[in-house]
Amino acid sequence: DALACGKLEGNLIVETYRTILAQNERAVLPLHLSVSNEIPLGMGCGSSAAARLAGIALAVHFGQLNWQRDRILNTAAHLEGHPDNVSACWLGGLTISALTCGASPEDVRQVTAARLDLPQHWRPILVLPRHPVRTEESRGVLPTHYSRVDTVANLQHA
């Protein structure tokens, strides 16, 4: 964890905070952060989505940005590259999400997300890899002749 090591460069919370403020022409206020994180890193559980949302929340608050919930969700999903873990982190619980398809590839795609209320007798099961796997590596298992964009879109709309 970069903060535990005293390193701020490369920390997604800090990078996102700075990026959002810079994009909105706001001053980056110095902060002292203490982060407690129980989300496993590099296990596909959304630690980077949580960090991105934390950075956005800090920027919205300290930059006095008047952002609505949908804009925060869309911005985090855009930075993450997909809405899956961002939606779960933002809405809580089990969620389904997808990026809406624009008329052209240049269109800004919006997140559609919903939280599912499950029966109380259902119990979640979490399966984690034995070792951390970077997102780029896990995406590498998809055969190169498959379009990642098409594959993800098909899964999101199945």
What's phi and psi for 157, nearest 5 deg? -110, 10
CATH dotted code for 12-156 = 3.30.230
- Quick one: pLDDT at residue 7? 58
What's phi and psi for 29, nearest 5 deg? -80, 135
Q: Domain ranges for the chain, please list them.
A: 12-156
Model pLDDT for residues 91-117, shown as the tens digit of each residue: 998 899 988 766 655 566 788 899 999
Most distant CA pair in the chain, distance: 49
- Quick one: pLDDT at residue 22? 95
Stronger pLDDT, 21 or 157, i.e. the higher one = 21
Give the pTM: 0.78
